[in-house]
Chain A
Amino acid sequence: MPGPDKETDLTERIEAFLSDLKRGGSGTGPLRGSAETARETTALLRRITAQARWSSAGDLMEIIRKEGRRMTAAQPSETTVGNMIRRVLKIIREEYARSRGSSEETDQQESLHKLLTSGGLSEENFRQHFAALKANVIEAINELLTELEGTTDNIAMQALEHIHSNEVIMTIGRSRTVESFLKDAARKRKFHVIVAECAPFCQGHKMATSLSEAGIETTVIADAAIFAVMSRVNKVIIGTQTVLANGGLRAVNGTHTLALAAKHHSTPLIVCAPMFKLSPQFPNEEDTFHKFVSPHEVLPFTEGEILSKVNVHCPVFDYVPPELITLFISNIGGHAPSYIYRLMSELYHPEDHEL
């Protein structure tokens, strides 16, 4: 019977994915971009839907939640995994609701009135079995995958609306989204890019080489010179690791300084972030927000005797409050930071915020 083989095959794949996540986050394994992670997560979830044994939507959601908890525990800072899981859970809910025949609009709005009058409606336990559910869910997940594949291109297509000629644009570190954004604009316009190298990993160097190969005038500066050069910059365009629920960012370290400098000079700060980076987390959780890597990057072991007497910190992320951000550019268009909460309610169901 193909069942057990399928199951072992499935568990193997899940285990492989988990170990990949664990290794990738520490900076030693192959660094994968968030888009790849999102795609792999969604593919894996599709496989689970197809191959795992479940009879009703509730079962499927339980299985996915369980696997999702393991995946997020493997690498808590990789929020795209959790985001994709929540998206898929929302898809399942929608498909279930459609199969049941109830309209989508009533389910979406959770007004106080509804809560009081309906009473039992929120206690949907998704126990009904629908034969077409599996196919529908898989089809919807395929749509999600197509959307994921096109995000970078969708964002890059908007580049010409935001960059005029002879501009000086500043960016920090390396973001594949911003790279394709700038390269797309460079096909038609001439502008100058200043890249802050973002110590200690110096990802900015790779970004600069890649941009200059596309023919864009690029300059690499040290992190310390960000404020010094900011007065000549027209726009700041950055990528981010996560967009938080309040419209703030969890971006690579140094971004908060960059945002403050841009605010001081009244330079617009544009964040290019696809929708799968939007996460329902808030920045208040101090212990889970920051991630640290080996201090060897900051103070190498060759420094010798002083190492034992000194505390060295090497945080990876920075929090940028929403007041410092001017615009978000995502694959569905441009938004102000104050609109992010609304987008989030469209993407995820409130009950899935806690996996």
Chain B
Amino acid sequence: MSAEPSVASSSTPATQHKKTTRGGTRHFTEGGPVKKDGIQQAKTEGKELTKEEKQRLRKEKKQQKKSKEKKDEKASQESEKEKKPVSSASPASQPPTQPITPKAPSAVPTLVPVPASETPAPADKPAKSKAEMKAERRARQEAERASKQGKKGEVGQQAAPGKPKAPPSELQPVVKRLPEHVQVDNPEVLKKLAKKLERQQIPLRSDYGYKVSLFSHLHQYSRKAPLTQQLSIPSTVIHPAIVRLGLQYSQGIVAGSNARSVALLHAFKQVIRDYTTPPNEELSRDLPNQFNFLNQCRPLSASMGNAIKYIKKEISNIPSQCKEEEAKSKLLNCIDRYIDEKINLAAKAIAKSSIEKISDGDVILVYGCSSLVNHILCEAFEKNRKFRVIVVDSRPRLEGREALRRLVQRGISCTYVLISAVSYILPEVSKVFLGAHALLANGYVMSRVGTSQIALVAKAFNVPVLVCCETYKFCERVQTDSFVSNELDDPDDLIVTRKGKTQLEHWQEVPSLGLLNLVYDVTPPDFVDLVITDLGMIPCTSVPVVLRVKNVDQ
């Protein structure tokens, strides 16, 4: 072609120059396409053809192919014109970039399009074509991935694969990854987590104290060493509202599953308000960092997990051509609606159904501080039901005192005992109302430690046990005992000073002594008589039905 000799002539002095500077051999072949020259040269020079150069060459070849294909569709004149500058651009870029490549390999992909964009007239076309080529490549890769999955799916599924709206729970191979916080005894998982957190600039919280061997797969943190002491100051990664929330969680200032979820949602509203989308990035990319930080402060609860899933889904549902302001306000509205519907309205609905279950002259036993149960009791008292309440409390959290204060303020007559006296007080009780942290798919109720004990003793005395739980706390996990997935609180909380003597003060120095401070336990469904939810009053075993109905709705 006509272009080539001129190009070749233009390039050869350069290559010659290069050769003389390198004091290299005198092999060079005249004629032939310049690229071949360059590559053969490099080959003869042997060592200098680095990996990056090979990659770059491959890329350029692809780009040229693509540009050829594209230009075939367009007017031939334009294509010819473009070919020239393109082809001139690439070899022209070769020699100047060659000396630069050993120093800045990462700059290579950007250097290649840059000289292309510097070429005259049809400069936009090559630039756009490069971006378009990138997009095309990505699309091709995704198509390949989808086809691979489709193949896998065909192998795995026997049902017709063509249905786009097939219920996701049917026949899909469940390859769930175990959450990190129940794999503390696996050193590889810990290493991976440490690396991930380092990349995201989140400090890793270290375990504290001797862990009972049954629980070596769980974390045990000390409250006296908050995560923020190790946090580096540039908080561009983590929003300050999230940092504050994490501290509140880890110090126990915000406790109780409803309170934690609502606090989380409010903090995210703040994050969304302050968020400005950088070009080419999305909000959902940054979210995992925030969640990882919160996870380090205190493992996320089931209700928080559901709330987060909802937020992520809403974010992904926002159409991409939506403007930023509009998207933000949409998201804020969604979150407000979630809080309203799932928490506030649900509480009202549950209170309405529960009041039917409270009759005059009842003696109701409650355990710890559940915001929902307190709400129900206060509502029933407003509706002039005559009853009295027995509040059972347990060390070391002593949350029952908070419930006691709230009830006494409303004027409800209360009795207060510790959990060891529950078999003394139970003969007086007519009903037991318990709150829940989560309801598992096999009907087990996950709640504050001690709840299963109360349900057990109530069953022995034939007292009905009612659990009150909103549907957003329903969880797809299954669990049969309180060991596999639990939370270990600060073991120092168990230490108490009585009559000036602290027995367990030096427990760390005694090698065979361990303190165990569990946070949650699971109650088997045979101890629970009724679950009151915003969807109605259901038995414990109907939880998977509710989950299925919810999934189909969504």
Contact = CB atoms under 8 A, between A and B. Distances in A.
Given A216-B512, A223-B394, A231-B481, A202 B503 contact: yes
Interface string B465-489: 0000000000000000111000000
Contact of A220 (B449, B452, B494, B522): B494
Given A220-B494, A306-B405, A199 B516 contact: no
Contacts, number: 159
B445 to A, nearest CB: 13
B453 A226 contact: yes
A186 to B, nearest CB: 10
Contacts of B404: 306, 310
B498 A290 contact: no
B418 A199 contact: yes
Nearest to B486: A228
B513 interface: yes
Interface in A54-104: none
Contact of B408 (A212, A216, A306): A306
Nearest to A324: B460
Interface stretch (B379-387, B420-428, B544-552): B420-428
B20 interface: no
A290 to B, nearest CB: 7
A218 interface: yes
Interface stretch (B30-38, B102-110, B129-137, B409-417): B409-417
B504 interface: yes
Interface stretch (A135-143, A276-284, A311-319): A311-319
B418 A200 contact: yes
Interface SS of chain B = mixed
B419 A224 contact: yes
A56 to B, nearest CB: 46
B415 A313 contact: yes
B507 to A, nearest CB: 8
A220 B424 contact: no
Interface residues on A, range: 35 or more
A314 B423 CA distance: 12
B518 interface: yes
A213 B521 CA distance: 30
A134 interface: no
B416 A311 contact: yes
B522 to A, nearest CB: 8
A260 B395 contact: no
A312 B417 contact: yes
B504 A318 contact: no
Interface in B415-468: 415-425, 448-450, 452-453, 456-457, 460
A335 interface: no
B416 A299 contact: yes
Contacts of A311: 414-416
A209 interface: yes
A227 B424 contact: no
Given A199-B418, A208-B504, A224 B424 contact: no
A205 B497 CA distance: 11
Contacts of B452: 227-228
B453 A224 contact: yes
Nearest to B448: A224
Interface stretch (A149-157, A238-246, A249-257, A336-344): A249-257
Output the residue of B417, B481, B496 with the most chain A CB within 10 A.
Answer: B417
Nearest to B513: A212
Contact of B424 (A261, A310, A313): A313
A315 B424 contact: yes
Contacts of B417: 298, 312-314
B218 to A, nearest CB: 13
Contact of B503 (A209, A257, A310, A313): A209
Contact of A225 (B413, B415, B460, B516): B516
A253 to B, nearest CB: 5
A298 B482 CA distance: 27
17 contacts: A199-B395, A199-B418, A202-B496, A208-B503, A208-B504, A219-B212, A219-B514, A222-B449, A222-B518, A224-B419, A227-B452, A232-B483, A261-B453, A311-B415, A312-B416, A313-B416, A314-B421
Report the 9 A-B pairs with minimum CB-CB distance, sorted nearest first. Answer: A224-B450, A254-B420, A205-B503, A224-B394, A228-B521, A212-B513, A256-B423, A228-B482, A227-B453
Given A202-B503, A212-B510, 13 more contacts: A205-B503, A218-B512, A219-B516, A220-B494, A221-B518, A222-B518, A223-B395, A224-B450, A225-B449, A225-B518, A257-B457, A260-B456, A310-B414
Interface of B: 212, 214, 394-396, 401, 404-405, 408, 413-425, 448-450, 452-453, 456-457, 460, 481-483, 494, 496, 498, 503-504, 507, 510, 512-518, 521-522
Interface of A: 197-202, 205-206, 208-209, 212-213, 215-229, 231-232, 253-254, 256-257, 260-261, 264, 290, 298-299, 303, 306, 309-315, 318-319
